Amino acid sequence: MSVAETDLDERPRDFIRDIVRSDLATGRVEAVVTRFPPEPNGYLHIGHAKSICLNFGVGRDFGGRCHMRFDDTNPTREEHEYIDAIQRDVRWLGFDWGEHLYFASDHFECLYEWARHLIRGGDAYVDDLSADEIRERRGTLTEPGADSPWRDRPADESLDLFARMRAGEFPDGARVLRARIDMASGNINMRDPVLYRIRHAEHPRTGADWCIYPTYDFAHGQSDAVEGVTHSLCTLEFEDHRPLYDWLIERLPTPCVPRQYEFARLNLTYTVMSKRALIRLVQEGHVAGWDDPRMPTLCGMRRRGVPPEAVRDFIGRIGVAKAGNLVDVAMLEHCIRDRLNKRAPRRMGVLDPLKVVIENYPAGEEEALEAVNNPEDREAGVRAVPFGREIFIERDDFMEEPPRKFFRLAPGREVRLRYAYFVTCTGVVRDASGEVVELRCRYDPETRGGNAPDGRKVKGTLHWVSAARAAPAEVRLYDRLFGKPDMSARGDFIADLNPDSVTVLRDCRVEPEARNTAEGAVVQFERQGYFCVDPDTTKDNLVFNRTIGLRDTWAKIRRAEGRRARGGNGP
């Protein structure tokens, strides 16, 4: 699918795009090159979507390009599964990197040479201290660190030891390569940061070729430089790493000078987003997997039926800034509804069926009624829905003793069956325990299509399905995974899991046409919400996920805010 046809075509403005615009105008860069640089140690989540839309969006908006780069410098936590899943998810979101797929590990040989370049220039040294000893000497925010006794080791000695580190002569942790900067720097990242560590581990791509691996700081900016990245966009936690980023680029014979810019991470209410937390949810079995429809992962959202356009729309609306923010998940939900409302075909499905026998409808007869597929989209056309003597309606659309304002079915009351007829409830049938198991109704044959020729009105319109022709289905309803709005505070997020985040209904009935819904496609079950066909579906068991209900809390919040702003009757 091409992104050009979508909302993203309107070029947004933000401080990053302003920088790019000015760099192009002044000629600092000729063509913009960005990259999306995930570490392949988990699945992508909605927070990553912000980075993806920004990086690929900037590349596209300014006629440049965006690379897909895996930051695979930590062999012990990375897996092929993640590398494949990440690519699938970025494509799903609507972006493509053409031939520009890179791995930091592609650059290992170059990074090694650049490390030797630093050593030769007196800018790096092999340190024999252990990780603990290095930590102890690092100092604090208020106190300077202490020089390592190996700091002034001659370059030749460091070069020799570095080669032997690579050759596998030393065990893990025996030595590291450090930049030689300033142990008294106010920025702890500049206190002789580690550039290489020994790790005898199989790497998913380079296998056993290497037993020394560069750190993030010595891989990221260097990969940017090798690939010709002009604007290296990352989240704010890397702001303090920027001086080191620049220090290294300045000293290395790089083919270009990339610059790093930071923006705020996306945080969402009722949502945890760090991969570490998501891995825990999966490993401890709190969810069914990475693609559990309750997960904020892109694959979870896809399985839930969220259209990628809705995610892009949402990311476009929240914008890009430096100030940290916690975005109301209702805004994302609004974008999902907005998109689905325009696209999802309407169907009828009954989640909690109650049988209705229409006593004056001839037994054994059936007729096809015409139903509109999507009132928002005339071109979606109409379909035929079978109607007969026995139908199902929603159990909670009937009350024996209705309170005021309950306008649905009740004894003696007339309502409209959507696209069908007016019916009046004439009796109830109970089982031995007294529970209502069936309703008896009469219909008015003059009201075919749902309107009375004499102009009489009814207050309620119900959805329904033909008992003879409806398909049985399982429906999974989802609620928020967490019960607390602000999940950003550290602590045991497991305690905040919502115990009722999923409800499985196994005895639902859907109109025959709903059976033709493709896996992953979304329909609206009228009055119930949006539902997509889950991949768990088999020949004998049709499974729907509720993507989202119909009620739009975000629109309500905005309306209330609007009223308040106009000095209206807000609280």
Helix extents (H) in 182-270: 220-227, 242-251
Q: Is 265 a catalytic residue?
A: yes
Choices 46-54, 135-143, 338-346, 400-408 (CB under 6 A): range interacting with ligand ATP: 46-54
Compute φ and ψ for 346, nearest 5 degrees: -85, 140
Residue (of 421, 397, 394) closest to 407 by Cα position: 397
Compute φ and ψ for 322, nearest 5 degrees: -90, -25
Count the helices and strands in the chain (H runs, E runs).
13, 27
Indicate whether 69 belongs to the interface with ligand ATP (CB under 6 A).
no
Indicate whether 265 belongs to the interface with ligand ATP (CB under 6 A).
yes
- Which of the listed partners (ligand ATP, Mg ion, none) does 38 bind, with a CB threshold of 5 to 8 Å by partner kind? ligand ATP
Which of 34, 51, 215, 545 binds ligand ATP (CB under 6 A)? It is: 51
State the virtual CA torsion across 288, 294, 300, 301 in degrees, nearest 10: 160
Indicate whether 47 belongs to the interface with ligand ATP (CB under 6 A).
yes
Q: Smallest distance, Å, CB 39 to Mg ion?
A: 5
Q: Which is nearer to Mg ion, 194 or 288 (CB)?
A: 194
Which of 234, 329, 393, 514 binds ligand ATP (CB under 6 A)? It is: 234
Write down the catalytic residue from 275, 303, 346, 418. 275
Q: Smallest distance, Å, CB 443 to ligand ATP?
A: 55
Report the distance separating Cα 464 and Cα 357, nearest Å.
12
Write down how long the chain is: 571
Indicate whether 331 belongs to the interface with ligand ATP (CB under 6 A).
no
Which of 275, 389, 413, 418 binds ligand ATP (CB under 6 A)? It is: 275
- Which of the listed partners (ligand ATP, Mg ion, none) does 273 bind, with a CB threshold of 5 to 8 Å by partner kind? ligand ATP
Choices 36-44, 201-209, 222-230, 372-380 (CB under 6 A): range interacting with ligand ATP: 36-44
List the structure tokens of 284. 């401890």
How far is residue 218 CA from its own chain's centroid?
Answer: 29
Q: Which is nearer to Mg ion, 180 or 241 (CB)?
A: 241
Q: Which is nearer to ligand ATP, 37 or 193 (CB)?
A: 37
Edge-to-edge strand order for the sheet containing 353-358? 461-462, 414-417, 422-430, 436-444, 353-358, 390-394, 465-466
Q: Smallest distance, Å, CB 144 to ligand ATP?
A: 29
Q: Is 99 a catalytic residue?
A: no
Report the distance separating Cα 137 and Cα 537, nearest Å.
59
Write down the catalytic residue from 21, 39, 138, 527. 39
Q: Which is nearer to ligand ATP, 80 or 563 (CB)?
A: 80
Which of 206, 274, 488, 537 binds ligand ATP (CB under 6 A)? It is: 274
- Nearest residue by C-beta to ligand ATP? 47
- Which of the listed partners (Mg ion, ligand ATP, none) does 490 bind, with a CB threshold of 5 to 8 Å by partner kind? none
Report the distance separating Cα 376 and Cα 193, nearest Å.
58
Q: Smallest distance, Å, CB 488 to ligand ATP?
A: 10
Helix (H) or strand (E) holding 533: strand 529-533
Q: Which is nearer to ligand ATP, 218 or 419 (CB)?
A: 218
Report the distance separating Cα 368 and Cα 420, nearest Å.
9
Report the distance separating Cα 111 and Cα 219, nearest Å.
7
Indicate whether 524 belongs to the interface with ligand ATP (CB under 6 A).
no
List the structure tokens of 138. 């690092």
The contacts of residue 369 (CB under 8 Å, 6+ apart) are 384, 385, 386, 387, 419, 420, 448, 449
Q: Which is nearer to ligand ATP, 47 or 300 (CB)?
A: 47
Q: Which is nearer to ligand ATP, 314 or 531 (CB)?
A: 314
Q: Is 275 a catalytic residue?
A: yes
List the structure tokens of 381. 């056309």
Residue span 25-44 as binding mask against Mg ion, x where in contact by CB under 5 A, dash where not: --------------x-----
Report the distance separating Cα 360 and Cα 344, nearest Å.
35
Give the three-state DSSP class for 106.
helix
Contact 138, 188 (CB under 8 A): yes
Indicate whether 273 belongs to the interface with ligand ATP (CB under 6 A).
yes
Write down the catalytic residue from 199, 205, 251, 265. 265
Q: Which is nearer to Mg ion, 244 or 310 (CB)?
A: 244
Q: Smallest distance, Å, CB 325 to ligand ATP?
A: 10
Q: How far is CA 329 from CA 13, 14, 317, in A?
A: 23, 22, 13
Indicate whether 266 belongs to the interface with ligand ATP (CB under 6 A).
yes
Report the distance separating Cα 163 and Cα 169, nearest Å.
9
Indicate whether 59 belongs to the interface with ligand ATP (CB under 6 A).
no
Amino acid of residue 526: E
Residues taking part in catalysis: 39, 265, 275
Interface residues with ligand ATP (CB under 6 A) are 37-39, 47-48, 50-51, 234-235, 265-266, 273-276
Interface residues with Mg ion (CB under 5 A) are 39
